[in-house]
Chain A
Amino acid sequence: MFASLRDAVAELIHDGDTVAMEGFTHLIPHAAGHEVIRQGRRDLTLLRMTPDVIYDQLIGAGAARRLLFSWGGNPGVGSLHRLRDAVEHGWPRPLELVEYTHAMMAAAYVAGASGLPFGLLRAGAGTSLPAHNDRIRAVTCPFTGETLTAVAAHRPDVAVIHAQRADRAGNVQLWGIVGIQKEAVYSARRALVTVEEVVDHLTPMPGEVVLPAATVTAVCEVPGGAHPSYAQGFGRRDNRFYRAWDAIAKGRESFTAWIDRHVRGTADHAAFRRALAEEGR
């Protein structure tokens, strides 16, 4: 149950796996993503509603061959330059896109978590997305006869999330913007959770989600493991980093230099944070 992040990634995430690192701006598992890059994983199918900077880094580092998503950008800043370079120019390798709307992604996770073959919704009528994604189909309601949208269930090999706390039995607690993390964990075969702290007892928090230990494969204590995203109650979103990322990711050389120095060139998340601090970021 409890492991170092290095051991947990080595054991749970393999080349070619379908991996969902979820987080809706809040609680994004950056440290776990970095460890995947450090260990040189390849050919991953990445799944996420809102791929942002950590997926830009994984794609730029060559870890992914396919991305299932609904919105890919650096929120409030602009494009993901590494994602765009992979799609527009095939660098460092081509990236296949499988594209949804947010509501379709959410329904696909709920279906996966529920053991159903597809999620059902009244979604995005008129959108051209189904023409490019055969996991989105039309179905007829057996009661009313109306046409609804079916989305094939998401069943990732691994869900990776960051949360505020775990107790010593491995029950995980998160609160604030909880996004789609619960559904991602329940839909996945294995779940890797990094947490800000491990405590004796989980104090109830407003709006919390508790993931019972039985749903979690590994818990790793990684304080600040969401940075530059954040964990409510433990720090704020580092909006300056998100803005700085735009210039770093714009060019292949500046991106590679950054990844080599900060991720491949550091032993773990604590060393990564020290490398950032030395630059005064």
Chain B
Amino acid sequence: MSAATPDEVMTVVAARALRGKRTCFVGIGAPSAAANLARRLHEPGLVLIYESGTIGSKPDVLPLSIGDGELAETADAVVSVPEIFSYWLQAGRIDVGFLSAAQIDRFANLNSTVIGPYERPRVRLPGAGGAPEIAAAAREVVILMPQRLETFVGRLDFVTTAGFLDGGDARTRAGCTGGGPSRVITDLGVLTPDPATKELVLTALHPGVDLGDVRRATGWPLRVADRLEDTDPVTDEELATLRDLKARTARAHDEALHG
């Protein structure tokens, strides 16, 4: 088996972050891959919740969209959109929210709205979706994003989703009820908020990555923990399970789905 790619390391480390968790609100893409990997590897009872209203989905392959039929057919319950946002998210029934975005800043605020000015955007992005409420109300938020200079920026073009806002207790003062981002998992390492200032601090490096790589991929002067940890290497079991999941997904999505 070839060595794990940076993207695979990111997904595996994110799956490990779900150990001991019960309910996870999942976005499509890398978050969905990581959550489903965790369900296979070490948390078979993890309740996956997709914003389409499916609770306890157990898909065999990764869905292309949050509304693929398999999510509903394998769910414990399917509820309406007002119910998922009001009774589940707003009421505090979500342990972990898994999010990604186009841009992130040093206080883990996220932009998924526009690149450039709002009225005349250079790139119009999809928009908020459920992210602002997931980030505000989940007990904990885990953010998954490949680390690049263009995406880890000094200043967001738009604050779609609050992380820790200006840092310190700004998040609580703004009325967020959940705990906020607990870690940002990238393809280079892991960043966690400083307990007091809430600024993101690099706390772990993935195998084969050096500190200079991370600094060059970060658009602000990056703080680094005094004791920088090395991420445990991806195991054969983790990698084989992830690749099997991806391969079955690719086969399923390429089959003729007509009728």
**A-binding residues in B (CB < 8 A):** 28-29, 51-54, 63-69, 71-73, 77-78, 80-82, 85-86, 89-90, 109, 113, 118, 121-124, 126-133, 136-137, 158-162, 165, 170-171, 174-177, 253-254, 256-259
Residues of A that sit less than 8 Å from B by CB: 24-26, 49-50, 69-73, 75-77, 79-80, 83-84, 87-88, 99-103, 106-107, 109-110, 121-129, 132, 146-147, 176-180, 182-183, 207, 209, 230, 232, 235-240, 242, 281
Select which of A25, A80, A103, A182 is within 8 A of B90 by beta carbon.
A103
A71 engages B72 (CB within 8 Å): no
Determine if A84 and B124 form an interchain contact, defined as CB atoms under 8 angstroms apart: yes
Given A75-B64, A129-B132, the answer on whether A25 and B162 have CB atoms closer than 8 Å is no
Which secondary structure characterizes the binding site on chain A?
Answer: loop
Contact in complex: B162, A126 (CB < 8 Å): yes
User: Which chain B residues border A126 with CB–CB below 8 Å?
Assistant: 109, 132, 136, 159, 161-162, 165, 170-171, 174, 176
Of B54, B123, B160, most A-chain CB atoms within 10 Å: B160
Q: Are B80 and A127 in contact (CB under 8 A)?
A: no
- The verdict on A122 contacting B28 (CB below 8 Å), with A25-B52, A129-B160 known, is no
Q: A99-B113, A102-B128, A232-B72 are in contact. Are A179 and B118 (CB under 8 A)?
A: no
B127, A99: Cβ atoms under 8 Å?
A: yes
Neighbour of A207 across the interface among B78, B118, B128, CB < 8 A: B78
What residues of chain A lie closer than 8 Å to B67, measured between beta carbons? 24-26, 75, 177, 179, 237
Q: Which residue of B lies closest to A124 (CB)?
A: B132
Closest to A69 in B: B127
Bound-state Cα–Cα, A239 to B63, Å = 10
- A235–B129 touching, CB < 8 Å: no
**In the bound complex, do residue A239 and residue B257 qualify as a contact, i.e. CB atoms below 8 Å apart?**
yes
Known interface pairs A71-B128, A103-B85, A106-B85; A125-B66 also in contact (CB < 8 Å): no
By a CB distance below 8 angstroms, the chain B residues around A180 are: 80-82
Q: By the criterion CB–CB under 8 Å, are B69 and A237 in contact? A: yes
- Are B64 and A87 in contact, CB atoms less than 8 angstroms apart? no
Chain B residues near A102 (CB-CB < 8 A)? 51, 81, 85, 128-130, 133
